[in-house]
Amino acid sequence: MEQPNLRYIKELSGDDIEFEQKFISILKDEFPVEFASYKEHIDGKDNLEAADVVHKLKHKFNILSMEEAYRYAVTFEEQLRDGKTDMDQDFRHTLINIEAFLKTL
């Protein structure tokens, strides 16, 4: 499975360590909220709302340099807008993976 990493964040931060720490802190605050919101909407069968959250989460995949996960999310977002939730399980695994990664930071 593709692993999240800090490549983009380090490139963005350069030698600005203070920004890097602040940015990671923002990410650690924002991601769990979006993850919880995703679960709530998908479990509640609010597929369009879930699609909106997937849209935000796919940006997090970009930030964590997860190209495959990003492409998966693009397709999943479209699927959700068509009312299809088949890709939910694999998508959740990616989110759980990121959740675990962020806890190590």
Partner 1 sequence: MTCIIVDDEATARAIVAKHCSGIPELDVVGEYDNAIDAIKFLNQQDVDVVFLDIHMPGFSGVDFVQTLKNCPKVVLTTSDTEFAIAAYEYEAIVDYMVKPLTADRFEKSVQKIKKALDKEPTAAPNTRSISNTDAVQDLYINIDKRLIKLHFDEILVVKAKGDYIDISTENKDYRVHTTLKKIKDKLPEKIFLQIHRSYVINFTKIIDIEDNSVLIKKMVIPISRSNRPELMRRLNLV
Least Å from the CB of residue 26 to partner 1: 5
Q: State which residue, 27 or 95, has the beta carbon closest to partner 1.
A: 27
Q: Give the single-character DSSP code of 6.
A: S
The two structure tokens encoding residue 40: 């709530």
Least Å from the CB of residue 62 to partner 1: 4
In the range 79-98, which residues lie near partner 1 by CB under 8 A? none
Closest CA to 30 of 86, 82, 81, 95: 95
Under the binding rule (CB under 8 A), the answer on residue 11 touching partner 1 is yes
Which string of DSSP letters, residue by residue, matches 21-33? HHHHHHHHHHHHH
44 vs 59: CA distance, rounded Å: 23
End-to-end CA distance of the chain: 20
Under the binding rule (CB under 8 A), the answer on residue 66 touching partner 1 is no
Under the binding rule (CB under 8 A), the answer on residue 29 touching partner 1 is yes
Q: Applying CB under 8 A, which residues contact partner 1?
A: 8, 11-13, 16, 19, 22-23, 26-27, 29-30, 52, 55-56, 58-60, 62-63
